[in-house]
Chains A and B, each alone.
Chain A
Amino acid sequence: MQTRTWLRILLPGSVLMVPVCLLFLSIDKSYAIPAFSRQYQTSCTTCHLDFPKLNDFGKAFKDAGFKFPKDDENFLKIAPTLLGAEAQKQVWPKTVWPGQIPGMPPIGLRMNNFFQMTGSNRNQFNSLAAPGTLPQVIPGTDFETGFFSIFTAGNFGSDIAFWVDDDISVAGANANGGLGDGYLRFVNIGRFLKLPKDALTVRVGQFELDLPFTQARNINLSPYDIYSESNVGAISSVLPLSQNVNNLFTFATAAKGVEVSGGHTYGGYHYSVAVLDQNTSGLSQTSSPYVPSATGGANGGVGFASDSTFKDVYARFSYRFNLERNAESRNGIQAAGATGPRDHTYLNFGTFYLNGKSQQGLVGALPNGNPQLLYAREPYYRAGGDFSFNYRTFNLFGVYMVGHDNNLLPVDSKGDLIPLPLGSTTVPVGFVTSVPAKFNGGFLEADYLVLPWIMAIGRWDGVHSSADRINGLAFNTGTSYFGPVNSERDRFTPGIQFLIHPNIKASFEYQFRPKQSVLVVTDPVTGNQQAVNPFRVNTALIGLEFVY
């Protein structure tokens, strides 16, 4: 006789589909640099459409190493400080010595605040509290503060650019005290190798990977879901599928390593290849009491950032076709419009690929019973394609990506699979290859700059991960945001933004999120678990931010 398995029943009656509070609030970074505005005495709109989104001139400015692509010295209103007299070039004619620093510290500051609205469905999560305990209070309306961030960028002359940004109010996204990016970029270093101009640039430090559409330049209040997706394999004591995959890598995480790149993002080809630390455990940097690290001696410094010796490799290639008929306009940084320069009408196609190998350590044993450390080294990849179409102030763009992690299941001395999660009684002696953990998804977004101070946005995000769903069901904790009723985690997010000033922005978005459920029953016929009380998770979000 089958036993029905019930979770606590919350609401009798029909399914309700009303806005529900999300406990998860994503604060995306905004990388507009008011310091450049001060250095060049020019408006933010010279480089930004709707900060931080770059226009074509802003892309050229960034590609050139945070300076005007041509005759930069004629545009700088604050002269740089030379680190040696000009005549030093006669002493060392074939070096980049001595260089310069910006005449004033190129510092920008940013602050944002949020307000969100929920609906009565938020109280359905009260069922997740253990019996006899108080559930979390989820308010219907809520004001929240974001991060106070500092960022500085510029160039040191000799085509050497720099960037550092940090969330100084709290330990925000990325570890190490909220450090975002911190790197040096050697622009057009290929000139020393007689390569074509801008064919080779090197970047070293901590940086966001050269993604098709980055979180850093994302004008939305909420991030792109696919960039936040990690690959945690399904672990279920009920279902036959088990995946010993615990890869917490996401594209939203800053990389530590070195990148070579070339080409331009405002027309023609662009490529990048990065070698970066492997860290799929998601742990922050750890120090060793025995081995000193680059940041300090034994028992000192920040420690090691990698969780294995393997180095990941990320590569991207894209080509942008500017579509103006006039060749001079088509090849220019901006198109020559009848009423003034504007962004090109263009079509951009790209592809990207990341290869890694996660490493999970286990305390196992040799077949003779002697203790042995076992490491499940599971290669993984992320691969995808992207496109972008732009016509005047209308931009349609999207990404599709797949993720794949090999799956090594531990076995005991008899060769039998050991159920996951591992307990302390059964000692593994090796691994066997099993069903890989996969996911796929992407996003499609349309931005339209209605007026110079109004941006209309429509966006669709999708993440398809059956492992996320299985994990949510198996743990019987009710499906969290990452374990929806269906295996798809699609959402539609319309929004609108107002530039009160070029450096002050008010944003609104409404997130039509996928269905969730906190009531799961076991079908008496099939024995499968299914949700019988799904409800849609929606959020209304308002943001107010300023940079200066």
Chain B
Amino acid sequence: MKNAFTKLVVTALLSGALSLAAALPNSALSGKVTAGKGVSVVYIEAIPGKTFPAPTENVVIDQKGLLFQPHVAAVPVGATVEFLNSDKVAHNIFWPAISGNKKMSHNMGTWPSGQKREFKFDAAGVVPLLCNVHPEMSAYIIVTPTPYFAVTDADGNYKIANLPEGQYTVSAWHEGMKVQSKPVKIAADATLDFTLSK
């Protein structure tokens, strides 16, 4: 009898653990960001004690038709961005600061049509891209502290998948709006909405 009880307890514990283990990689955080026209970026802030390897695939931002394409991109810290010039005019890319830190300004210079240059972003923050030849051109790179982020669709809907269980701080960014942060506990799929303002 004692052996049967032990088996029952162990089975129950194992089942619970298995259930829990099954829930951990499938948790997703989704929601909607209300912030006006254009896309937003939702991301998990830095997790104490956790670091993540740099992604292996580069992100490409193109200059075409006197426009940066895409207008908003999100990359995790450590990522390399390739800047391409597909226009038959000369362009330049520079950013005056990263999240307001002017010491992190940088000018990529000029390169011919069809060629590209790379830059590795080792610090998280908001990078406003400008062209000093065509002042109307602009774009944003959101360098996120973790690989858990999403760019919303045109309606503001987002989904961050494969979130491990835990307590996180989630932030939402939209061009021209104040960044908003909220805490969230992930134990299963969760929903979190944002309404941003200036």
Q: Which A positions have Cβ atoms within 8 angstroms of B? A: 40-43, 45-46, 57, 68-71, 74-75, 77, 328, 332-334, 336-341, 502
In chain B, residues 96-131, which have Cβ atoms closer than 8 Å to a Cβ of chain A?
Answer: 107, 109-112, 131
Cα distance A509–B134 when bound, in Å?
A: 29
> Contact between B112 and A333 (Cβ–Cβ < 8 Å)?
no
> Contact between A68 and B109 (Cβ–Cβ < 8 Å)?
no
> Contact between A43 and B135 (Cβ–Cβ < 8 Å)?
yes
Contacts of B132 in A (CB 8 A): 339-340
Cα distance A486–B131 when bound, in Å?
A: 52
Q: What number of B residues sit within 8 Å (CB to CB) of A? A: 21
- Tell me which of B66, B91, B112, B136 contacts A75 (CB under 8 A): B66
Cα distance A336–B117 when bound, in Å?
A: 14
User: How close is B157's CB to chain A, nearest CB, in angstroms?
Assistant: 28
Closest A residue to B131 by CB, please name it. Answer: A340
Cα distance A431–B2 when bound, in Å?
A: 143
> Contact between B90 and A336 (Cβ–Cβ < 8 Å)?
yes
Contacts of A337 in B (CB 8 A): 109-110
User: How close is A57's CB to chain B, nearest CB, in angstroms?
Assistant: 7
> Contact between A40 and B92 (Cβ–Cβ < 8 Å)?
no
Cα distance A153–B134 when bound, in Å?
A: 21
> Contact between B92 and A339 (Cβ–Cβ < 8 Å)?
yes
- Tell me which of B66, B109, B110 contacts A42 (CB under 8 A): B66
> Contact between B66 and A334 (Cβ–Cβ < 8 Å)?
no
- On whether A340 and B89 interact (CB within 8 A), knowing A40-B66, A74-B65, the answer reads no
Taking A333-B89, A340-B132 as known contacts, 18 extra A-B pairs with beta carbons closer than 8 A to each other, sorted by chain A number, are A45-B134, A57-B133, A70-B88, A70-B89, A71-B87, A74-B64, A74-B87, A75-B65, A75-B66, A334-B90, A334-B133, A336-B111, A337-B110, A338-B110, A339-B94, A339-B107, A339-B109, A340-B109
> Contact between A46 and B133 (Cβ–Cβ < 8 Å)?
yes
**Selected A-B contacts with CB under 8 Å, 14 pairs:** A42-B134, A43-B134, A57-B89, A70-B89, A74-B65, A74-B87, A75-B65, A333-B89, A336-B90, A337-B109, A338-B107, A340-B91, A340-B109, A341-B110
Cα distance A337–B111 when bound, in Å?
A: 9
Cα distance A172–B112 when bound, in Å?
A: 45
> Contact between B90 and A341 (Cβ–Cβ < 8 Å)?
yes
User: How close is A65's CB to chain B, nearest CB, in angstroms?
Assistant: 16
Contacts of B133 in A (CB 8 A): 46, 57, 334, 340-341
User: How close is B13's CB to chain A, nearest CB, in angstroms?
Assistant: 64
> Contact between A328 and B112 (Cβ–Cβ < 8 Å)?
yes
Cα distance A45–B134 when bound, in Å?
A: 7
In chain B, residues 125-173, which have Cβ atoms closer than 8 Å to a Cβ of chain A?
Answer: 131-136
Contacts of B91 in A (CB 8 A): 340-341
Contacts of A340 in B (CB 8 A): 90-92, 94, 107, 109-110, 131-133
Cα distance A502–B132 when bound, in Å?
A: 14
Contacts of A77 in B (CB 8 A): 65
> Contact between B89 and A336 (Cβ–Cβ < 8 Å)?
no
Cα distance A42–B136 when bound, in Å?
A: 6
- Tell me which of B88, B110, B134 contacts A336 (CB under 8 A): B110
In chain B, residues 50-92, which have Cβ atoms closer than 8 Å to a Cβ of chain A?
Answer: 64-66, 87-92
> Contact between A43 and B107 (Cβ–Cβ < 8 Å)?
no
Cα distance A337–B133 when bound, in Å?
A: 11
> Contact between A333 and B90 (Cβ–Cβ < 8 Å)?
yes
Contacts of A502 in B (CB 8 A): 135
> Contact between A68 and B89 (Cβ–Cβ < 8 Å)?
yes
Cα distance A341–B109 when bound, in Å?
A: 8
Cα distance A336–B134 when bound, in Å?
A: 15
User: How close is A171's CB to chain B, nearest CB, in angstroms?
Assistant: 37
Contacts of A339 in B (CB 8 A): 92, 94, 107, 109-110, 132
Contacts of A69 in B (CB 8 A): 88
Contacts of A41 in B (CB 8 A): 66, 136
Cα distance A74–B89 when bound, in Å?
A: 11
Contacts of A338 in B (CB 8 A): 107, 109-110
Contacts of B136 in A (CB 8 A): 41-43
Contacts of A40 in B (CB 8 A): 66
Closest B residue to A329 by CB, please name it. Answer: B110
Contacts of B65 in A (CB 8 A): 74-75, 77
Closest A residue to B64 by CB, please name it. Answer: A74
> Contact between B88 and A46 (Cβ–Cβ < 8 Å)?
no
> Contact between B64 and A46 (Cβ–Cβ < 8 Å)?
no
Closest A residue to B88 by CB, please name it. Answer: A70
Cα distance A74–B109 when bound, in Å?
A: 23
User: How close is A45's CB to chain B, nearest CB, in angstroms?
Assistant: 6
Cα distance A497–B110 when bound, in Å?
A: 29
User: How close is A46's CB to chain B, nearest CB, in angstroms?
Assistant: 6
User: How close is A409's CB to chain B, nearest CB, in angstroms?
Assistant: 60
Contacts of B109 in A (CB 8 A): 336-340
Cα distance A328–B94 when bound, in Å?
A: 22
Contacts of B90 in A (CB 8 A): 57, 332-334, 336, 340-341
- On whether A46 and B107 interact (CB within 8 A), knowing A332-B90, A334-B90, A341-B92, the answer reads no
